[in-house]
Structure 1
C-alpha cells in the first residue's frame, strides 16, 4: 500500500481530477469505481491532507475537485474558502457522511457544485456527477465570459445605450448615457423613452415606428439632458426580446459633429455671400454714379427752371440712388472679412455691456430680464465694439418678437468643452420652420421695416471671431439663439 502523505497519479487521461481525502481507502475506492465505469476518460490524483490540497489547488491544473468534508482539523468548507481567497473558480463536489443534510446545504451555499454521500456512491452516479459538474461549469464559464464581454461593451461604449421594457420604461442605461443626459442612474430608471426627446412630435414618431417596424436604423433625433439642453443623436433601435417586449436603443451623440458641419456651412455661405456682394457693388455702383452725375448736371441747366415739377423728380431720383448706394455699402460691410481689435474680455462683462445698450428698449416694452452668467474668470478674445453690435441685434429682435408687457428675455453664459456659449432665449412668437434656413440671408426679413441685414451682420461678426451661431425656435413658444465662441 502506498504511504500516506503522497500524491498518487494514474495514467494520463483527458479529464484532470483532484481528490482531497485523508482516507487512502476512500481514494482507491472512488478511483476504482470511476475507472470501471469510464475507463481511460479521467485522470484522478490524490491529496491526503489540507496542506497538500492547498498546494495542488494553487497550481490550478485540475478540472474538478472531489473534497471530503472532514479533513482533520480542517473541513471541506475551508477548502471552498481558499478557492475564493485566491479568486479561483472550479467545480467542487463535496463528499459528506450519511445524514449530514445541514452540512450538504452549507457546502452548496459555500460554492460547491454538488455533493455525494459516502457509502452510497455508485460508479454510474459518481461518473454522472463528475461529468455534469465539468459540463455545467464549462457552460457557466462561457456564459460568464460572454456576459463580461457584453457588459464591457455596455459599460465602455462611447454611445448612449438604453434598455426599455414593453411599456418603453427605461430598465437600464450605460455610464455614458448617465453622463451625457446628466441624470443619475436611478433617475433614468424612473423615466420613459419618450422623456428623452426634446420634441414631443419626434418622441411619438419614434415610439410609433419602433412598434410598427421592430427596428429603427440610423435616424436622427434631438434628445435633451436634465438641464433641457439639446443633444443631437443618431439612433439605432430594435426589439431585443419579442416575447418580453424589451427594446435596445443605441444613440450616437452627433452634437459636435453637427455643430462643426454647421460652422462649415456658415463659413461657405459667408464666403459666397461676400463674393456676390462684391459683384453687385461693382455692377450697381458704377451706373449709380453716372446717374447721380447726370442729375447734378441737370440741376445746373436753365431748361429745368421752366418746368415746375422737374426739381421734385430730380430729388426723387437722387434720394433713391443714395438709398441704393447705402444698401450696397451695408451689404458689403455685412459680408466682408473685418479687422478686429481683440482683447481678453470676461464673457459676463461682454454680455452686460450689450444689455446696457438695450436697456431702454427692454424697459419700454416691459420685458423682464433673467440672467445667469458663468464664473468671472471665464473669458473670450473679442472686439467689444463689434460684439456689442452682434448681441444688440439679437436683443432687439427678441424684444420686437415678444408681446409688450409679457416678454421674458433670458440670457445665460456657460463653459462647455473649451468653448463659451451665450444663450439668448425669448418667449416671443417664434420663427416658422421655413424661415429658419434663410434667417441669416442678406435682405431677408419678416418685418415691415428694416433692411434684413442685421442678422447677416451679426453672423459675420461671430464668424470673424471664429465662432458660430445657431437658432432653435418653436412657433408660439419662443426662440433661442446660441452663440459659441472659443474660450480665451
Structure 2
C-alpha cells in the first residue's frame, strides 16, 4: 500500500522561495510530502485554523508580521504542531526567540541543502509525534521509550534517575541498575551546564533544543541536543530526551576547517598574483640597474622611481587587505539614518551628475536613530554607490535608495538598474580581492561588509542579470 503523503504548509510571502522549497523536496523525497502555500499572514491563520497539516514551514519576515506572531497564534488557539522557522540570515536572537515561542527548529535559507531540509522536516514530524504520544498515552510512551534512537531519561524532582531507555544505557555505557542509583548531575561533564539545566527545568518547566555535554562511564564527552519537559507538576517528574550529536559536531568542525583551508588558499593565491606584478617590475629594474656598467643620473632616477612606485603599490595592497578584514575601532555616536545616507551621497554626487544617473529617494516617514561611526559608514555606503554607478549605463541609470524601520531594526535598500551580477559571482562578492573590474582591487565590498558587521548589522545582495542589483543593509535602530 502506498504511504500517504505528509501535508506541509509553507507560510512565506515570496513565491520564489515556495517554488524552490517545493522543487528541493520533490528532488530529495519524491512523493513523500504534499506542500501547500499561504502567501500572507491572514491566509496562514485561516489554513492553520483548519489543522490539516503535519508540519509548518514559516518565514520569519511576513510583511507587517513575523513568524513569531504565527507561533504565538498556535499558542493562543491551543494548537500544538511542529513549526520550522525559516529566515534569510542567521541570527541568534531570532533563533532563541523562535525556540522560546515554540518552534521545532530554525533554518537559514541560504545555508540549508535539500537533504538537510528534508531531514529537519522528517525529524520535526517524528519528534513531535513522539512527544505527543508520551503525553497522551502511557502505553505508547513506553513503546517509543524502548525503541527511540535518542537518549531518554526519566527523573524525579530531586533529579534522581527513575528510568533510562536502552539507547541511553548504550550511549552512556552504564547498566540500567547503575543508572537507577545515579543523579542527573552525574551525567553532566561541566558543573556550570548542570546548574543551568536544573535552574531552567525548575523555572521554565521546559528545555527545548539546548546543547549540553554528557559524560559516559569511561569519562568520554558526548555532545547532546536536549529537550526536557516536566511530566507531572505535583510529583515533579520530568522527561529528558537527548539526541547524540557528537559525530555530527565533529563532521561540522572538520567541514569548517576544510572551508578555512579553501578560503586561506584562495586569498593566498590572489595576494601572490597581486603582489607578483609589482615585484617583477622591481626585480627587472634592479637587474637593469646592476647590468649597466655606467648609469646616467636620468636612468638611475627612472629605475629608482619604478622601484619606489611598485614598493608603494605592494604596501598599499597589504594595507587595504588588513583594513578590510580586521576588527576596527569605531567612534560611535547617535545619528539620524536619513542624514547619514545623505552624508555618503554627497561624496558620490559628482559621479552621479557626471554619469547622468537619476537619484530616487524613498525614506521612511518616521525618524530612525542608529549608533554609528559616520566616517566608516560613509566608506561602506560610498563603496556601494560607486559600484552601482559603474554598473549602470551613463544617461540611463536610476539609483534608488529606500529605507524602512520595523521595531528595533532599520533597513537600507540600495538598488540600481545596471547589468546585474552573474549567479556564480554572488557567493564571492564579499571575498577579498574578488572583482570583475579591470582596475579594481576587490577590497571595496569586503571593507563594506566588515564595517556593517562591526556595527552589528547584516548586508546581503539580490541581483537579476540584465535588470539590476539591490544591496540590503540592516542595522540596529535606537
The TM-score normalised by the length of structure 2 is 0.46
Higher gyration radius (CA): 1
